[in-house]
Structure 1
Amino acid sequence: MDGRLKSTKASRNILLIIMENSGYWASILKIFKSKLMNKNHLTNKAFIYAIVFISFIGGACSQSMPEVELNDEWKNKIYELAPEEATYPFKEKKKVLVFSLHTGFWHWVNPHTEAMFKILGEKSEAFEVSSSTDIAMMEKDKLKEFDLVIFNNTNSKPTYRNLFVDKLSEDESMDSVSVWKKAEELEKNVLNYVKKGGGFFVIHGGNTTFNNSMAFSELIGGSFDYHPKQQPIHVRLVDHKHPLVQAFPADGFVHTDEPYFYKNAYDALDFKPLLYFNNSEIEAQRKGQELTEGVTYVAWIRKEGKGKVLYCAASHNAQSFENPDLLQFYLDGMQYLVGDVKVDETPIGK
């Protein structure tokens, strides 16, 4: 056999092994496998072209995912992928508010996340979901209308890391003292809403809402510290027997997202973790803070007074919602938050 052919075949086989053992390359593999396995394409030039193309795609995907248009076609796709019914029995339809106000970083996925939660509620018939960006919805009388409040990427500006201060500061009739006083009042409304029995679901960047508030950090289980570049993340299950992760296969799933790292209350681990990633698998970590051992949690639950909290870092991208297992996880989590199912909430830090 020609030496060049042997070399190309060996390189081809190594490439296939790498691709087949990485969920990230699954879709790329479908495109190239037939070409690479075809003897007519066993040339150095074809192999090099394949490597260049794959490297280009991989590099692009590791940085960010392309924005997806929010249209009827996308909504219909998510509707078809969503669970046919709620996992747990429920006596009545619960009211949910998806709060999507932001003053800081704008996540293009925000409207998709709203639409996704509305689809879950509609198809399961377990939830009546409405959405708002009006800060007035954080008043006591408004919050008590809902069984569950979802903070959907409610990112604040870096200046104060306080969403309510940012928004209230836009009112020229309020001085700084009045702004901070009102912001503190509204934050306390959220804290008390949960303590008195409300459900609270924080998605992705929603943990930056009051990133310098220890009270809020303790409520949700941690504050945002930083994230490396977007990259394929192998999300694993902490306990595959836990009721809230039954949607996922035992070995978890892979999706492209921002791997979040946390600070403040996170260090106390005052929560029950559900999902995690291995720190050693995360690329481009902040210099001086590289973690080569241990794990970082992606989703967790905790009890606060009479209420319940669920934090989930997924996702920065609407493409993640095309995973029916993740949709099932969200729906099961919503049912947990409104009391349709009781699960182990024992914090691992205590």
Structure 2
Amino acid sequence: MKAKKSFNILHLSLVFIILLSVTNSVSAMQSNKVLVFSKTKGFKHKSIPAGIAAIKKLALENNFIADTTTNAEFFTESNLKQYKTVIFLSPTGDILNDTQQKAFEKYIKTGGGFVGIHSATDCEFDWEWYGNLVGAYFSAHPKQQNAILNVVDKNHLSTKNLPKEWKRFDEWYNFKWMAPNLNVLITIDETSYDAGPKKMGANHPMAWYHDFDGGRSFNTALGHTDESYEEPLFLEHLLGGIKYAMGLKK
């Protein structure tokens, strides 16, 4: 009888531990939410659905939740509070009105995170604060082609697993303006491809991060193609940037 009672107590204890573990896991996911925003008012990248699917998969595999929208009405102070990071996935054009811009500024100033992917530098050209947040403004790009990237900082979550010299295919952006004091992670070797008439020369960043106005900002110009979002190294790069923006250390 005592043996049966001890077994029941052990069984109940194991059930309790499992339920507690599941509850804690769900709670952690709910507190680690990101918002993927992909509104376009100009060119619309065909790779946006692939990018959304990839980020959702990364979220599932790494214990966070990814909500997605193209609706700028999500940008209110009360709604943004639930997210650790807002990800601008290949947006273009003027995508937020004045009220939405102020809500997003408040979100960053109270410690929020930002991730820009590919054409995040090709929107909101008249919003100076956003330009400083994302870190650059797009000018032009040549045809899609292979090029060699140089990983100049391997101490960041987004680059620690990348090769020092990284050859890959993408659409390579040139920038007409860049913010000062960016922490550059990756540059592109313009001698390895045809950078076009608006080439930038030896100093041509392609990914960077910085603390800005109370929050954290990471931007990668990579990610034009569908294939990018199936590429293990690019996904590791992207995940590391998201984790940094969320305030995670590993």
TM-score bracket, normalised by the shorter chain, equals: 0.7 to 0.9
- Counterpart of 1:276 in structure 2 is 187
Query: Whole-Å Cα distance in 2 between the matches of residues 106 and 337 of structure 1?
Result: 25
After superposition, residues 138-177 of structure 1 pair within 5 angstroms as: 138-156=75-93, 162-164=94-96
Aligned residue in 2 for 1:205: 119
CA distance change for structure 1 residues 284 and 246 in 2, over 3 Å: closer, same or farther?
closer
How many pairs does the alignment contain?
222
> Structure 1 residues 248 and 320, CA, compared in 2 at 3 Å: closer, same or farther?
same
* TM-score (norm. length: structure 2): 0.83
Which protein is richer in helix relative to its size? 1
Residue 332 of structure 1 corresponds to 240
Q: CA deviation at 1:250?
A: 2.5
Please tell me whether residue 250 in structure 1 is matched to residue 188 in structure 2: no
CA–CA distance in structure 2, aligned partners of residues 133 and 322 of structure 1: 23
Cα distance, 1:242 vs structure 2: 3.9
- Identify the structure with the greater strand proportion: 2
Query: Any stretches of 5+ residues in structure 2 without a counterpart?
Result: 1-26
Instruction: Determine helix, strand or coil for the equivalent of 1:273.
Output: strand
Q: Which residue of 1 aligns with 2:28?
A: 92
1:280 is displaced (CA, Å) by 2.9
Structure 1 pair 138–309 and aligned structure 2 pair: CA distance change class (3 A): same
Alignment check: 8 A CA contact 2:35 2:86 kept? yes
Moved over 4 A (4+): none
Q: CA deviation at 1:243?
A: 4.3
Higher Rg of the two aligned structures = 1
TM-score normalised by length of structure 1: 0.60
Aligned partner of 1:317 in structure 2 is: 225
Q: Tell me which amino acid in the other structure corresponds to 1:301.
A: Y
The 5 A counterparts of 1:1-350 are 92-93=28-29, 94-125=32-63, 127-156=64-93, 162-164=94-96, 183-251=97-165, 253-264=166-177, 266=178, 268-283=179-194, 285-286=196-197, 289-291=198-200, 293-341=201-249
Matched to 1:222, the amino acid is: A
Kept in 2, the 8 Å contact 1:255–1:320? The answer is no
Task: Quote the Cα distance in structure 2 between the aligned partners of 1:209 and 1:139.
Answer: 19
RMSD of equivalent CA atoms: 1.8
Kept in 2, the 8 Å contact 1:211–1:224? The answer is: no
Secondary structure, aligned partner of 2:164: coil
% identical equivalent positions: 28
Q: Do the aligned partners of 2:86 and 2:115 also contact (CA within 8 Å) in 1?
A: yes
User: For 1:212 and 1:226, how far apart are their aligned partners in 2?
Assistant: 18
Question: 1:104 Cα shift?
Answer: 0.9
